[in-house]
Amino acid sequence: MAISDLTTPSGSEWQDFSNGSGNNIDASEINANYDQTITFLTNVITTLKGDGSSTGVAEKDQANTFSALQTFSDPGIEVNSITALGDNQDTIYTARGTGKLKYGGTTAVKEVANKEYVQAQIISGGEDFDDLTFTGATASTDGVAGMVPKPVIAERNKFLKADGTWASLDDEDTWEEKAIDFTAEDGGKYLLTADLDITMIDTPTVGNEFFVMAGDGFDISSTNIDLLQAASGEKIDGVDANGSLTIQVMYRIVYTGDATTGWRIIKSYAPEVTEYKSTSFSATATTTNHTRYMVDTNSGAITATLEATPSSGDKVEFVDFSSSFDTNNLTIDSNGAKIQGTPTDLVVSTANDNIVLQYQTNTGTTLTNDKYLAVGGTDEYVNCGNDSSIRITGAFSVSIWVNAASGPGTPMSRSGSSNGEYSLRFVDSSGKIEVWLAPSSDSTIYAKKYRTSIDVFDSTWHQVGFTYDGANNLKVYVDGVEDTSVVKVADTAMTTIYDCSLSLLIGASNSLSVRDFFTGSLDEIALWDSELSAIDMAKVYMGGAPIDLSAHPASGSLQAWWRCGDGDTYPTLTDSSSNSNDGTMTNMESGDLSSGAETGGTINDDTWVFIGNN
């Protein structure tokens, strides 16, 4: 069959053309007769219905047809209406990236990448995309049509906003950007990006409220935000007139129901200035009325750069605005200074964290720390009793400072051979510490045995700790940083911890009898009945400088704190928490309360330090 014989899509002609049977027409002849072929194919596509007639045969062999089209010049296929495009989308996208599509007689030639592209053309009414990229709208410009951005696993519970970002379904995390006048709604959260008027809620009920805060790029030093009375006429902060805001902080505006007060304007945060940030920025620190940055990492990781030349007492705060620091981290760039005595940047990866930093200049000791406990390793230990405050079965955390050169031995334990609870021990001479936990479901085994990947047998001081969330998640820390490479010698699922009847021992364990004695130095041993965050554990380490744990952000859950010499009188190790878990030194001497603070007991350089959560 000659190419010139092709006129309309009869069954036999289609079969010959599409390599179904008969005298086939190859690609070289199609190219040589391009215009004639396109006329034929256009007739095929615009009449193809798959209704069992001869055109139905053509539909069955559409793939072979498009194989022949792979060497065509542009455009390949042209359709002239949305209806034709929609009716024949199955035929068109069979090309799978090798065909070409010219729509509506336009000069633009489009790659038929896949089915979704054709469908997007149909949905958009044939809009001529530049590419497949979807661009969200901003406060001042419309977006661009395109394919929906690919969602990832971490965003599966979010929805796509018109600005092109994935937003939380939780209204608590959803703030609306406003650049023009609007009327407030109950529970509304508004990021203001321009001077505007806000009309109060009409005929409010007691407890109606909304929140406002400056958005990205808004000059908070000069603002003109007016609050307009609603038609129902409620007062604004006790004044029967319109009000105004400077918007340098986040405001909560709540209806009191009191005819004298009406709407009350409340500064929601203590700092003088509260700023919202959704992109990387330079942070400003001040000695009084510091700035609190509400950092939104929902769309990606953010870096906050500290000042290059801070002054003593400068303070700055960072808050996880979108509960997403764990997914998209906040990096605090030290900008050449130190944080916690260490010349490195700080990566914040805990959701809902709140970091307050203050700059200190060579202020000497952070804590009077002149002594430590020297344990002999033969029969010496401290018995701290079995008070209910240290018989913790749920979430808890432990920190201990260790200086050792050899093992095995047990720095701290509430355990035995047949009824354990928890233990922190060196099981051999490798310098690796293991944390053991026993579940309430079976006290005869240790469900968790995590061994550090870090060797601490180097005759220098190390802070070692662990946290447990009460729901099977154990983390081990060395020098304020989680050891994510721990060896999980045992890792059986568990929740609550067994409540054994044994005393808490420092320097040994209970295993049929007191044994597994530790040789070395111990200091600043603490126990909390809560899971400390990664930042909280870093604050305990303080860059190598023990801190006053009564001022630590987790001080409310501190159940025991043995200073190991400071403030102690032999043979008693005083519990410096609000409890009375004093320890009794056994088979020890007064000289075991040794003089000399561990290395890093003072801040010897200017540094940013954690001062808690304001």
CA pair distance 580, 77, nearest whole angstrom: 86
- The reported pLDDT for the residue numbered 40 is 59
Half-sphere exposure of 9 (CA within 13 A, CB side): 26
What letter represents residue 564's amino acid? C
Q: How far apart are CA 265 and CA 262, in angstroms?
A: 10
Closest CA to 467 of 481, 457, 454, 488: 481
How many CB atoms are located within 10 Å of the residue 326 CB? 16
Cβ-contact 583, 383 below 8 angstroms? yes
* CA separation for the pair 134, 143 (Å, rounded): 8
Contact 523, 598 (CB under 8 A): yes
Confidence at residue 529, expressed as pLDDT on a 0 to 100 scale: 94
| Per-residue pLDDT reduced to its tens digit, 18-43 | 443 444 455 555 555 655 665 555 55
The pLDDT assigned to 442 comes to 66
Query: What is the model's pLDDT at position 609?
Result: 76
Q: Tokens 């027409």, residue? A: 25
Identify the segments of the chain with pLDDT beneath 50: 1, 3, 6-24, 45-86, 89-118, 121-131, 169-172, 270, 363-365, 599-604, 613-614
The one-character DSSP state at 184 is -
DSSP 450: E
- Choose among 86, 26, 90, 100: nearest CA to 58: 90
Tell me the C-alpha to C-alpha distance, in Å, between residue 247 and each of 225, 242, 273, 275: 7, 16, 9, 9
Supply φ then ψ for residue 155, to 5 degrees: -110, 15
- Provide the token pair at 258: 């009191």
Tell me whether strands 189-192 and 209-214 are parallel, antiparallel or unpaired. Answer: parallel
Identify the pLDDT of residue 441. Answer: 66
Cα–Cα dist 295/303, whole Å: 10
The reported pLDDT for the residue numbered 60 is 37
Strands 263-267 and 196-199 come out as unpaired
Residue count of the chain: 614
Contacts of 504 (CB under 8 A, 6+ apart): 383, 384, 385, 386, 390, 412, 413, 414, 560, 581
Does the global pTM surpass 0.85? no
The position carrying tokens 């001081």 is 461
Q: What is the largest CA-CA distance in the chain?
A: 112
Closest CA to 392 of 440, 435, 334: 440
- What is the per-residue pLDDT for 112? 42
pLDDT of 250 reads: 75
DSSP 327: T
- Bridge partners, 381 (sequence order): 586
Compute the distance between CA of residue 61 and CA of residue 21 in angstroms, rounded to an integer.
11
The domains found in the chain, sorted by start residue, are 3-123 (no CATH), 171-267 (2.60.120), 273-361 (2.60.120.640), 371-601 (2.60.120.200)
Angstrom distance (rounded) from CA 208 to CA 67:
65
Classify residue 337 by burial, with Cβ atoms within 10 Å: 0-12, 13-18, 19+. Answer: middle
